[in-house]
Amino acid sequence: MNYTLLMYETTEDFAKRTDPIHKEAYVASWAHYVTVLRDSGIVVSSAGLQSPETATTLSRRDGELLVQDGPITETKEQIGGLIIIDVPDLDTALEWAARCPGSSVEVRPNLHPISK
């Protein structure tokens, strides 16, 4: 079964991506985690996301399409990336999520994929 791991990061976590003092350790922790996941053979797809400031949000209100710069909401944590894994059950997905170096991870079972 496929599960999506949504990795959330704080503003401070996003800042570590470019901070000369913290960048190397930040990148190394994620590189190790992603390598272990890929080597396990369970990764279906993955993507790291740029910082929330780069987002553009589309929303509909009263039939009108609105375009907003930035994330949909201002929160303490934003999605920093996602990884879709194929594992037997939720317990296994949670075990992999627990190894993530991020601030928090949301684990969700996927709906059936859309056929091409």
Evaluate if residue 84 carries a pLDDT over 70.
yes
Task: List the Cα angle 107/84/26 in 5-degree steps.
Answer: 80
pLDDT at 116: 59
pLDDT in tens, 16-75: 888 999 999 989 999 999 999 999 999 999 998 888 888 888 889 998 998 988 766 666
pLDDT at 73: 65
pLDDT in tens, 101-110: 988 999 999 9
Evaluate if residue 115 carries a pLDDT over 80.
no
Please report where in the chains the tokens 């053979």 appear, as a residue.
41
Q: Which residue has the higher pLDDT, 79 or 74?
A: 79
Q: Which helix (H) or strand (E) holds 107?
A: strand 104-109
Say what the pTM is.
Answer: 0.84
* CA gap 101, 7 in Å, rounded: 9
* CA gap 50, 56 in Å, rounded: 12
pLDDT at 4: 95
| Contact status, residue 107 vs residue 8, Cβ threshold 8 Å | no
Please report where in the chains the tokens 């976590």 appear, as a residue.
13
User: DSSP label at 18?
Assistant: T
Nearest alpha carbon to residue 77 among 22, 14, 4: 14
pLDDT at 72: 67
